[in-house]
Structure 1
């Protein structure tokens, strides 16, 4: 399971993200970018962050370490921004944190080079999870200590917003024409050869086991959290086998 920490200090809101994450300090003295259960996108965004982040890590991609953060709803009472106060009050309990990469730079495809192998691995992974939020407009990539790190996977696996239509949704092609790394001749075929065999039932069971049960409870159509975990795994397993043939928009 993800490491559990307790937020001890709310440092500042981070207004770069649409979900208004915040920077917090925890009882392990670490600093984390906190994504709130009370944000407008809801707990499914956090589930997507866990599934995609932990899957990417197991496939060898660089992802800031994820933790669960227990938040006291009164922690931000001294925060002068009423919007932030409201978000903190509505997010008491288990939230998601990721290591704060101090000094990281936002990726600019005009300023940095990415080799075709690494670009291919990232594009293939984004196709697998149907990441619609890694475009040149909003790369959701960071450069830290000279290496490329992936962040922000809340806008992935759109099929989990409509479980009855999951099969049709997960079978769709992936449009990579606006992908932030499309200009770097991503070697998707090599990535598929390397990564697809690693996406097994066992791997996905391990990944989905990292989702906090409280974020899975009460989902309509599912009797138990484990049934929902299996529902997350199935489309990813099927998609891994053939998604490289359905990536569109690369020249």
Structure 2
């Protein structure tokens, strides 16, 4: 299994609310995407987290925009008048991560109604599992599209890989749910813990990690991701929102 590959045909505009300057780009499949660049300041590891976490969430029944890989010709950047963006496009020649653009979507702020408690608890559990620190009311990283909730921007998760903290340390790394957009449902999380933990099989983890292209991952690191995520799944008492099982 691998992600589809498309080719960028036109850079449309930057999305400056993101620290890594993602941009709206058109592809040769006539699709429109939010393109996340391997040459951005956060580097390819942010894209690795986007793929692994996005696939896990999708496979567990949550809505995540479709992910594809996109080839970027540096010539596209040469006609960009903004010097910073031009440098980013040239530096990011080759494969980048394309996230399906959801036209007309808007950021979730609770005013359009909350999801049901089970959905919110599932999102909180999964964010805690992958150590996603970027789902607060300041920046929910949730979109509402056609009245459905979509999860985006998971590059801040799996932060163990920036320094490769030991699997043992990651296993017991607490998760502070107090700032989470769905912190109110933390008491309901232990009730769905066993179901979600059982759904994350070794094969599911292997499949999600296997979607990362070789260009973005060092030799042997697929096993390290698998080891860290397996260990954290096996002992959930230290990080489970709402208390131990």
Classify the TM-score, shorter chain.
over 0.9
Q: Does 1:126 align with 2:119?
A: no
Q: C-alpha displacement at 1:216, in angstroms?
A: 1.1
User: 2: distance between equivalents of 1:186 and 1:54?
Assistant: 26
Contact kept in structure 2, 1:116 and 1:186, CA below 8 Å: no
Other-structure match for 1:220: none
State the aligned residue count. 242
Other-structure match for 2:87: 86
Distance 1:19 1:158, change over 3 A: same
Q: Does 1:43 align with 2:44?
A: yes
Distance 1:185 1:247, change over 3 A: closer
Determine helix, strand or coil for the equivalent of 2:149: strand
Q: Does 1:233 align with 2:234?
A: no
The TM-score normalised by the length of structure 1 is 0.91
**Alpha-carbon deviations, 1:42-74, whole Å to 9, x = none?**
010010101101111111111000000000011
Contact kept in structure 1, 2:51 and 2:212, CA below 8 Å: yes
Distance 1:204 1:185, change over 3 A: closer
Q: CA RMSD in A?
A: 1.7
Contact kept in structure 2, 1:120 and 1:187, CA below 8 Å: yes
User: 2: distance between equivalents of 1:249 and 1:81?
Assistant: 47
Other-structure match for 2:217: 216
Q: C-alpha displacement at 1:166, in angstroms?
A: 3.7
Determine helix, strand or coil for the equivalent of 2:173: coil
**Alpha-carbon deviations, 1:18-43, whole Å to 9, x = none?**
11100000010000100001100001
User: 2: distance between equivalents of 1:241 and 1:167?
Assistant: 11
Q: C-alpha displacement at 1:77, in angstroms?
A: 2.0
Other-structure match for 2:70: 69
| Structure 2, unpaired ranges of 5+ | none
Other-structure match for 2:240: 247
Q: C-alpha displacement at 1:195, in angstroms?
A: 1.2
